[in-house]
């Protein structure tokens, strides 16, 4: 047992706001335990980027923050948001800024129903719900191009443009094909789009999908679903999916839906990945202000994100161990929902450590 190299990983930790610090604490607790077991060395550096800091200093991110973050092997992120800050300021100024500046072009969101976890879909179990969403993470409507004309007048015009580039689409598709090959399960990649209406952008996606698939991934079956239909299929027949690839906005939407079928945001882990650079791992859920400081929030999404971080650093064995430990703990929990788990946030972390 042990890591394949003698490296000390430099990890930037951004606990953020609300319940972010609580779930990050449990994630770090689990990392500490798994690192000891597998002789992995990590050097953690805390950053206080948050809505709270913004309210105090008026600065969303310090000027040198991105350059600082570039020096790390990975970033571990909690959640960001503040009830007194206008929507968009912190999201664009911190989270999206890091995703874009560090070119984390993949948002990887595994959707897996763990043992003993309630899914609202009747008659479906862990064998039916096990797929991965690969969301493009640096393009689409998220680029923020647009503006107002005659703002605040009756003649007001608001424009927001979605951008897809061949390069951006292609690298995302290749990552998704590779992901299906690596999983080695159904060997199927579903493109989720809207070719019937977004006849430019998804025409590009569709052509690239088929060209790349024909040329380099003949072993992977190709499948297509319009995004509206896919929301229906994910409820009706989640067992049909292996890897789903889609653009930034559709990926954002379908992964909230997908989180519900895997037990909720309390278990939904994610990674913002730059395969050639610095990646950032975060639970999909937000700051959950109603539960802040109460030791009631579910830390499994953050713990699962730590496992994704280990895997992306190449510590596959340790990542697997964390996931296996999570799967031993979920059956002991009453619910995946905050305040209904039948145990505290810290106890969930302790149980995962014990299961390791
Ligand atoms: C997510 C979130 C973000 C997004 C928000 C907070 C900007 O919903 O990570 O899915 O839309 O990407
Ligand atoms: Mn979202």
DSSP sequence for 113-166: --TT---SSTT--TTT-EEEEEEE-SSEEEEEEEEEESTTSTT-EEEEEEE--H
Residue 42 CA neighbour count, 13 Å, CB half: 28
Q: How much is the pTM?
A: 0.97
- Ligand 1, atom 9, lies closest to the CA of 284
89 lines ligand 1 (CB under 6 A): no
Of residues 355, 350, 290, the one with CA closest to residue 327 = 355
* C-alpha 88 to ligand 2 mean position (Å): 13
Give the H or E element holding residue 43. Answer: strand 41-46
pLDDT at 4 over 80: no
DSSP class of residue 63? Answer: T
Q: Please tell me the number of the ligand nearest to residue 98's CA.
A: 1
Does 91 contact ligand 1 (Cβ within 6 A)?
yes
Return the SS3 of 219. coil
Residue 2 has pLDDT above 60, yes or no: no
With beta carbons less than 8 A apart as the criterion, state whether 251 and 194 touch: no
Among all chains, which residue has been given the structure tokens 């190709």?
A: 222
pLDDT tier, 355 (very low <50, low <70, confident <90, very high otherwise): very high
Q: Which residues surround ligand 2, an ion (CB under 5 A)?
A: 252
User: In the chain, pLDDT over 90 holds for what percent of residues?
Assistant: 98
CA angle 80, 300, 342 (to 5 degrees): 110
Matching residue, tokens 């991105």? 66
Question: How many Cβ atoms are within 10 Å of 208's Cβ, its own excluded?
Answer: 20
In angstroms, the CA 175 to CA 275 distance is 9
In tens, the pLDDT along 240-263 reads 999 999 999 999 999 999 999 999
Q: State whether the beta carbon of 95 lies less than 6 angstroms from ligand 1.
A: yes
Is the pLDDT at 1 greater than 60? The verdict is: no
Q: Give residue 139 CA to ligand 2 midpoint distance, Å.
A: 15
Taking Cα atoms as reference points, which of 141, 135, 116 lies closest to residue 126? 116
Residue nearest to atom 4 of ligand 1 (CA): 252
Q: Is 253 in the pocket of ligand 1 (CB under 6 A)?
A: no
State the pLDDT at residue 333: 98
pLDDT tens digits along 219-229 = 999 999 999 99
Smallest CA separation from ligand 1 atom 10, residue:
252
* DSSP H or E run through 170: helix 166-183
Residue 205 lies in a domain: no
Within a domain: 35:
yes
Is 240 a member of any domain? no
Distance from the CA of 154 to the center of ligand 2, in angstroms?
Answer: 32
How far does the centroid of ligand 1 lie from the alpha carbon of residue 137, in Å?
10
Q: What is the pLDDT of residue 10?
A: 98
pLDDT in tens, 72-115: 999 999 999 999 999 999 999 999 999 999 999 999 999 999 99
Q: Which pairing describes strands 8-16 and 188-193: parallel, antiparallel, or unpaired?
A: unpaired
Q: What is the DSSP letter of 285?
A: S
Q: What is the DSSP letter of 4?
A: S
Which strand (E) or helix (H) includes residue 97?
helix 96-101
Q: Is 349 contained in some domain?
A: yes
CA of 215 to the centre of ligand 1 (A): 33
Residue of the nearest CA to atom 12 in ligand 1?
252
In this structure, is residue 256 part of a structural domain? no
Helix (H, G, I), strand (E, B) or coil at 13: strand
Ligand 2 geometric centre to CA of 268 (Å): 11
Nearest atom, ligand 1, residue 92 CA? 7
Q: Are 271 and 279 in contact (CB under 8 A)?
A: yes
User: Does residue 127 sit within a domain?
Assistant: no
Per-residue pLDDT band at 6 (split at 50, 70, 90): confident
What distance, in Å, lies between the first and last C-alpha atoms of the chain? 14
5: pLDDT strictly greater than 90: no
Structural domain contains residue 92? yes
Task: Tell me how crowded residue 337 is: count the other CB atoms within 10 A of its CB.
Answer: 17
Q: Which domain holds residue 56?
A: 1-104+288-356
Alpha carbon nearest to ligand 1 atom 8, residue: 252
Which ligand has an atom closest to residue 80 CA? 1
Distance 272 CA to ligand 2 centre (A): 12
Any idea what DSSP says for residue 92?
A: I
**What is the dihedral sign for C-alpha 16, 19, 24, 29?**
positive
Helix ranges (DSSP H) in 217-342: 227-236, 248-261, 300-312, 316-329
The answer to the question of residue 183 being in a domain is no
Contact 271, 308 (CB under 8 A): yes
Tally of domains in the chain: 1
Q: Residue 9's domain is classified under what CATH number?
A: 3.40.718.10
């Amino acid at each position: 047992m042990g890591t394949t190299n003698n490296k000390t990983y430099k990890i930037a930790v951004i606990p953020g706001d609300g319940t972010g610090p609580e779930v990050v604490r449990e994630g770090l607790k689990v990392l500490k335990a798994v690192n000891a077991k597998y002789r992995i060395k990590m050097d953690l550096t805390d950053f206080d980027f948050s809505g709270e800091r913004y309210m105090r200093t008026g600065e969303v991110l310090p000027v040198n923050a991105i350059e600082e973050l570039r020096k790390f092997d990975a970033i571990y992120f909690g959640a960001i948001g503040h009830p007194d800050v206008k929507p968009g300021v912190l999201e664009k100024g911190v989270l999206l800024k890091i995703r874009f500046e560090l070119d984390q072009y993949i948002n990887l969101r595994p959707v897996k129903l763990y043992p003993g976890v309630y899914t609202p879909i009747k008659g479906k179990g862990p064998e039916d719900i096990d797929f991965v969403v690969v969301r493009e993470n640096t393009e689409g409507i998220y680029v923020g191009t647009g503006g107002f004309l005659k703002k605040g007048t009756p003649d007001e015009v608001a424009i927001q443009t979605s951008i897809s580039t061949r390069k951006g689409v292609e690298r995302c598709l290749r990552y998704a094909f590779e992901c299906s090959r690596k999983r080695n399960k159904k060997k199927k990649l579903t493109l989720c789009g809207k070719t019937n209406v977004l006849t430019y952008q998804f025409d590009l996606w569709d052509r690239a999908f088929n060209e790349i698939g024909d040329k380099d991934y003949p072993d992977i079956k190709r499948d297509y679903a319009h995004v509206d239909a896919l929301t229906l299929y994910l409820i009706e027949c989640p067992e049909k999916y292996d890897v789903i690839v889609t653009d930034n906005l559709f990926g954002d939407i379908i992964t909230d839906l997908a989180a519900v079928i895997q037990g909720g945001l309390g278990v939904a882990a994610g990674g913002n990945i730059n395969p050639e650079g610095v990646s950032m791992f975060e639970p999909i859920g937000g700051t959950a202000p109603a539960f802040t400081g109460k030791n009631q929030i579910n830390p499994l999404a953050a713990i699962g994100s730590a496992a994704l971080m280990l895997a992306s650093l190449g510590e596959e064995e340790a990542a697997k161990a964390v996931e296996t430990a999570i799967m031993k703990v979920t059956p002991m929990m009453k619910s995946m929902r905050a305040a209904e788990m039948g145990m505290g946030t810290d106890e969930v972390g302790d149980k995962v450590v014990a299961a390791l």
